[in-house]
A and B are shown apart, each in its own frame.
Chain A
Amino acid sequence: MTLLNPDFWSFVGVIAGIYTIFALGLQVQYGFAGLLNFGHVASMALAAYTMAILIVKANMSLWLAAPIGIAVAVAGFLVVGLTTPRLRADYFAIVTIAFSEIIRYIAINQQDLTGGPQGTIALGATGQAAEYNTQWNSFMGGLQSRLESVSGRAVSRDVAMMIVVWLVALLLLAATQRALKTPWGRTLRTVREDEEAAVALGKNAFGRKLQALAVGAALGGCAGLFYAFEFSFFSPDDFDPLTTFFAWIIVILGGTARVWAVPVGSLVFGFLFAGTRFFDFWPFSAFGSADRAYIRLIIIGLLLIGLMYFRPQGLLGRREELVLE
């Protein structure tokens, strides 16, 4: 029975960890700096593609290609930020969603560069399946055997991956929490609350927004790298706008402007999406499996609506702040 299969749940755990890092970037941008980034997935796409292309086409080491991937994600969003006058809320939302779609369409159409719609498997020469993660796999293999010798039992790749992803996620969560508690974090919230007030108090509001954008894109890029490692292959379809909105669901479900609400939101979201696959008991047993697939999505929708109805501030959010907005 898959419901009790630990490999399945460690896979869910890995995905929740990747989404934690991804949504943390959005939390910094939206929850703290008030930026409506509807194209967050572009940071994932830019980092993942840059890394894969550099490794396959330029034979670059993973440990060099990965940080360059993150840097490209940051640079991409800085360009969006610098060319969108003043990063005003609604205009910015439209520009970012367009930006993420532009990136995705470039990935689809620039076949020589990205492998096109077939994805990274077509990155190499024709008729030759390209791999960007050989180095990562050998790193993970080494880690797996070390974990096995320490624990004295078999450790699956997903469990090892889950450990790595969550260690990085916890580190980033702690660092972000710390950063946001400093006077720097306070200026971000000031810009979120009232940009003109921030400016009138001598704060460079535009500069703060760019910084939030850069930090968020770096976190999104980091999530993109893990996404690429976890699936060993990806294509433009992985970076459609839905992925951005999953991050939005996580941030709102967990609670805005709360760093530790992000992992809570990600886990609830992950288990909601994965756990509902096993609703085959009564009354679901009365339906065929094809119908159950639709019913599952209806249930997810109802649960999300219910959560928002009873806790509009999110699981860890503060109701007072929702009222004062």
Chain B
Amino acid sequence: MNSPGMLEVVDVVKRYGGVPAVNGATLSVTEGSITALIGPNGAGKTSLFNVISGFQRPDSGQVLFQGGRVDRLPPYKIARAGLVRTFQTTKILRRMSVLENMLVAGPRQPGEALWRVLAPGAGSRRERELEKRAQMLLSSVKLESHLDAYAGTLSAGQRKLLEFARALMTEPRMLLLDEPMAGVNPSLRDQLLDQVLRVREQEGITFLLIEHDLETVMSVSDTVAVMSQGRVIFVGSPDEVQRNEEVIDAYLGSRDSTQGISGTRSQLSLESPA
């Protein structure tokens, strides 16, 4: 953490009806990194995502993106600034085609202004650029043959891929992916992971992802942040996380005095994946 982070979360608190979901979380994400956010259910990961993306206002604390405060901005402005999120349960636009799902995400489309709707050819040049980019991104997630299908007809795994491609369509600087691999079959999962790595390489996009699949977490991320009870309790490399006792306690349940932690250790040992 020597250089100022792409994203700085400082002491964020978010309570729902008095119950803190995020309770003083602090996190720094380095530009161009892939950071995984892990932790048990109810640790506050998604709540923290909601705060970062502006869908929820924090009760206290700050969120800085590229050096500027974003915790008081409406969520659509945060997205326009280049900090774009996906959702745990995909939010695809079911009664719109796959291509339309992509096109609507394209930024700087002048044809989206109401006062231009009757002007001839408003935004048509931008539209062609967006179509080109949409087709390129869709073929990178193997959805190019579904351009005109209603997005609602896609399988759950395809929806995850579409949502990921759509998020890239916004030309983000940083992506927040909420369980991008959940419900995605192994071959699609590898495809998605390849995409994440390729996009980071080519476009320099920073990633923060919530993921329960430890194999995924350990294989793609540079940094792993562990949340428990609303706080970030540990930040380190995948290796360090696997060795940290506090993490094992928090994430994989308390050590059982009679069995020790051998069971949990074997779950975390990924050097020889099953």
Q: Is the CB of A193 within 8 A of B96?
A: yes
Min Cβ gap B190→A in Å is 26
Q: Is the CB of B152 within 8 A of A324?
A: yes
Known: A182-B111, A200-B84. A194 touches B91 (CB 8 A): yes
Q: Is the CB of A183 within 8 A of B111?
A: yes
CB of A196 within 8 Å of the partner chain: yes
State A196–B92 Cα separation when bound (angstroms).
10
CB of A175 within 8 Å of the partner chain: yes
- Pick from B103, B105, B112: contact of A184, CB under 8 Å: B112
Known: A179-B118, A193-B95, A320-B150. A202 touches B100 (CB 8 A): no
In the complex, chain A residues whose CB is within 8 Å of the CB of B53:
200
In chain A, positions 237-286 with a C-beta closer than 8 Å to chain B are 257
Contact residues on B (Cβ < 8 Å of other chain), bracket: 35 or more
State A189–B113 Cα separation when bound (angstroms).
14
- Pick from A187, A196, A325: contact of B91, CB under 8 Å: A196
Which of B53, B80, B112 counts the most A-chain CB atoms under 10 A from its CB?
Answer: B112
State A52–B84 Cα separation when bound (angstroms).
51
CB of A57 within 8 Å of the partner chain: no
In the complex, chain A residues whose CB is within 8 Å of the CB of B100:
186, 189
In chain A, positions 191-223 with a C-beta closer than 8 Å to chain B are 193-194, 196-205, 211, 215
CB of B4 within 8 Å of the partner chain: no
CB of B127 within 8 Å of the partner chain: yes
CB of B244 within 8 Å of the partner chain: no
Q: Is the CB of A190 within 8 A of B93?
A: yes
CB of A146 within 8 Å of the partner chain: no
Q: Is the CB of A204 within 8 A of B76?
A: yes
Known: A182-B123, A183-B112, A199-B75. A175 touches B103 (CB 8 A): no
- What is the total number of residues of chain A having a CB less than 8 Å from a CB of chain B? 31
In the complex, chain B residues whose CB is within 8 Å of the CB of A182:
111-112, 116-117, 122-123
Interface mask (B105-133 → A, CB under 8 Å = 1, otherwise 0): 10101011110111000110001000000
Q: Is the CB of A201 within 8 A of B92?
A: no
- Pick from A178, A186, A194, A211: contact of B103, CB under 8 Å: A186
In chain B, positions 82-110 with a C-beta closer than 8 Å to chain A are 84-87, 91-96, 100, 103-105, 107, 109
Q: Is the CB of A187 within 8 A of B76?
A: no
State A183–B99 Cα separation when bound (angstroms).
13
In the complex, chain B residues whose CB is within 8 Å of the CB of A193:
93-96
Q: Is the CB of B104 within 8 A of A187?
A: yes
CB of B153 within 8 Å of the partner chain: yes
Q: Is the CB of A200 within 8 A of B112?
A: no
Binding site for B on A (CB under 8 A): 175, 178-179, 182-187, 189-190, 193-194, 196-205, 211, 215, 257, 320-321, 323-325
Minimum-distance CB pairs A-B, first 8: A324-B152, A183-B111, A197-B91, A202-B79, A179-B117, A193-B93, A202-B80, A324-B94
Q: List 16 A-B contacts (CB under 8 A).
A: A179-B118, A183-B127, A184-B116, A189-B95, A197-B87, A199-B76, A200-B53, A200-B76, A200-B87, A201-B84, A202-B105, A202-B107, A203-B112, A323-B152, A324-B94, A325-B94
